[in-house]
């Protein structure tokens, strides 16, 4: 299988390249030493996909710095909506299957149970609206696609939109430099490790029917509970103080509950995602091995 991974040098893209390394793998990114690609350029996208002729295109590229998207909505929509359409059209024209990464943020406030793929989105910010627009533009332009909504990802590679640190790294860094760490108790999600996420995505790419899929680790927690688990699993002694989102006064509206259920994959017997706490333990072991 010939595979093109776009956003190949990002946190998830790096993991996806590792998962598809046994294939004829091509990498593209806005930066780096492989194919240079700005997905907002229709000409660049069409030229690259036509030249490579992949069987599968996986798009992990996005404008995903949420505050920056609020400040630069034109760029957010150029990448997350128009850029996604550019890839979809090129995939349709070359006969490639298109796998695209979207987000739990497409949902709004008021959730009390895990969202299904059939639930109605209600984006609260520019980032979410631009990602939802990208989903619609895929469905409007081709049939052989898989859209993967995921949430709260963290992995071995740097998170470029957040200055290099994922949430786990941030918590451990704060614990090492401050007498206490304050984390919100009123925002709920499912932390998702990129390694099992990449494995799940390959399985869906090869086996699943076209459509929309929720893909996160199983279970859910508040960010406070996630931080608590990080400190417990690492034996970190720090005062963890509960707080609420209102204390941080973010200028960006975010859903307070964005837990997803992997129903579509479950219905096909294809859900292989671990519980979030199990995935955290695996990540910490891998991180320790990488340092040692």
Q: 28-81 pLDDT, tens per residue?
A: 999 877 899 999 999 999 999 999 999 999 999 999 999 999 999 999 999 999
Q: Which two tokens stand for residue 162?
A: 């957040």
Percent of the chain past pLDDT 90, that is, above it, reads 89
Global pTM? 0.95
- From the candidates 105, 115, 127, 257, give the one annotated as an active-site residue: 127
Residue 53 lies in a domain: yes
Q: Structural domain tally of the chain?
A: 1
C-alpha span between 80 and 49 (Å, rounded):
18
**Domain coverage including residue 141:** 2-160+190-219+258-275
Residue 266 lies in a domain: yes
pLDDT digits 0-9 by tens, 167-226: 999 999 999 999 999 999 999 999 999 999 999 999 999 999 999 999 999 999 999 999
Residue 182 lies in a domain: no
Residue 235 lies in a domain: no
C-alpha span between 127 and 30 (Å, rounded):
19
Residue 251 lies in a domain: no
- What is the pLDDT, as a whole number, of residue 59? 98
pLDDT at 104 over 90: yes
Residue 291 lies in a domain: no
- What is the pLDDT, as a whole number, of residue 285? 96
**Any catalytic annotation for residue 127?**
yes
C-alpha span between 150 and 162 (Å, rounded):
17
Q: Which two tokens stand for residue 159?
A: 């998170």
CATH number of domain containing 149: 3.40.50.720
C-alpha span between 117 and 259 (Å, rounded):
12
Residue 282 lies in a domain: no
**Side-chain-side CA neighbours of residue 254 (13 Å):** 25
C-alpha span between 271 and 216 (Å, rounded):
10
C-alpha span between 210 and 91 (Å, rounded):
14
- How far, in whole angstroms, is CA 48 from its chain's centroid? 23
Residue 121 lies in a domain: yes
Q: Which residues of 154-189 are buried (b: 16+ CB within 10 A; e: fewer)?
A: bbbbbbbbbeeebbbbbbbebbeeeeebbbbeebbb
pLDDT band at 150 (very low <50, low <70, confident <90, very high): very high
């Amino acid at each position: 299988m010939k595979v093109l991974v776009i956003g190949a040098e990002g946190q998830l893209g790096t993991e996806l390249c590792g998962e598809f390394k046994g294939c004829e793998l091509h990498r593209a990114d806005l930066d780096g030493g492989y194919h240079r690609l700005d997905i907002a350029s229709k000409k660049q996208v069409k030229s690259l996909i036509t030249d490579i002729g992949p069987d599968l295109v996986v798009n992990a590229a996005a404008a995903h710095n949420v505050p920056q998207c609020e400040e630069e909505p034109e760029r957010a929509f150029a990448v997350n909506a128009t850029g996604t359409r550019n890839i979809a059209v090129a995939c349709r024209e070359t006969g490639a299957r298109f796998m695209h990464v979207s987000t739990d943020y497409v949902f709004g406030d008021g959730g009390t149970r895990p969202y299904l793929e059939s639930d109605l989105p209600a984006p609260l910010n520019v980032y979410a609206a631009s990602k939802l627009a990208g989903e619609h533009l895929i469905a409007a332009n081709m049939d052989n696609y898989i859209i993967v909504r995921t949430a709260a990802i963290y992995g071995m590679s740097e998170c470029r939109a957040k200055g290099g640190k994922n949430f786990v790294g941030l918590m451990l860094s704060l614990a090492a430099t401050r007498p206490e760490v304050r984390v919100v108790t009123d925002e709920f999600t499912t932390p998702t490790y990129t390694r099992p996420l990449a494995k799940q995505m390959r399985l869906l790419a090869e086996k699943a029917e076209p459509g929309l899929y929720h893909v996160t680790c199983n279970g859910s927690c508040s960010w406070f509970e996630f931080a608590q688990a990080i400190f417990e699993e690492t034996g970190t002694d720090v005062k963890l103080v509960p707080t609420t989102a209102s204390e941080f006064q973010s200028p960006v509206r975010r859903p307070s509950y964005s837990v997803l259920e992997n129903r579509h994959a479950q219905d096909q017997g294809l859900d292989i995602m671990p519980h979030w706490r199990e995935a955290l333990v695996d990540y910490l072991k891998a991180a320790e091995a990488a340092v040692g």
